[in-house]
Amino acid sequence: MALSDPLGDMLTRIRNALQRNKSTVSTPASKLRARVLDVLKDEGYIRGYTTTDFGNGKSEFEIELKYYEGGPVIREIARVSKPGRRVYVSAKTIPHVSNGLGISVLSTPKGVMADHSAREHNVGGEVLCRVV
């Protein structure tokens, strides 16, 4: 089945698994999804992820979700830039999420990175998602 928004599908799977208090969730693999998961791991929102190859060109990520004192670390995860409406920001207009308590994940010319890294590198780009 072809998805029009594969990244949105991954974020929805994570959101649904967190609501059900699951320890892991699986999603089809892609380079963009891997880069976003790398940012989430570096920022401490997930424990990590592993790749499973099925041999016929298909692979899957098994994402280990993170909980703290019985509650999920990710309180809110939302797609910002969608296929129907892309959202781009310059380096000077990158939004602060919850006064700095959350992050925005951006796709920049220097790769996929968190908002504070994009400000540090002075690059803008497409705002992929927001995590609190």
Q: Which of 106, 124, 127 is nearest to 39 (CA)?
A: 106
Residue spans of alpha helices (H) in 4-74 = 6-19, 31-42
In the block, residue with structure tokens 């781009």 = 88
The answer to whether residue 78 sits within a structural domain is yes
pLDDT at 107 over 70: yes
Does the pLDDT at position 40 exceed 70?
Answer: yes
In a domain, 1, yes or no: no
Examine residue 57 and state whether it is found in any structural domain, yes or no. Answer: yes
Question: What residues does 83 pair with on adjacent strands?
Answer: none
Neighbours of 6 (CB within 10 A): 15
Assigned domain for 70 exists: yes
Look at residue 104 and tell me if it is in a domain: yes
Whether residue 27 is contained in a domain is answered as yes
Mean pLDDT to the nearest integer, 104-132? 98
Q: 123: domain range?
A: 6-131
CATH code where residue 64 lies: 3.30.1490.10
Q: Which residue has the tokens 């892991």?
A: 24
Helix-then-strand count for the chain, H and E: 3, 10
Average pLDDT, stretch 55-63? 94
Model pTM greater than 0.75? Answer: yes
Residue 55 has pLDDT above 90, yes or no: no
In a domain, 49, yes or no: yes
What total number of domains does the chain contain? 1
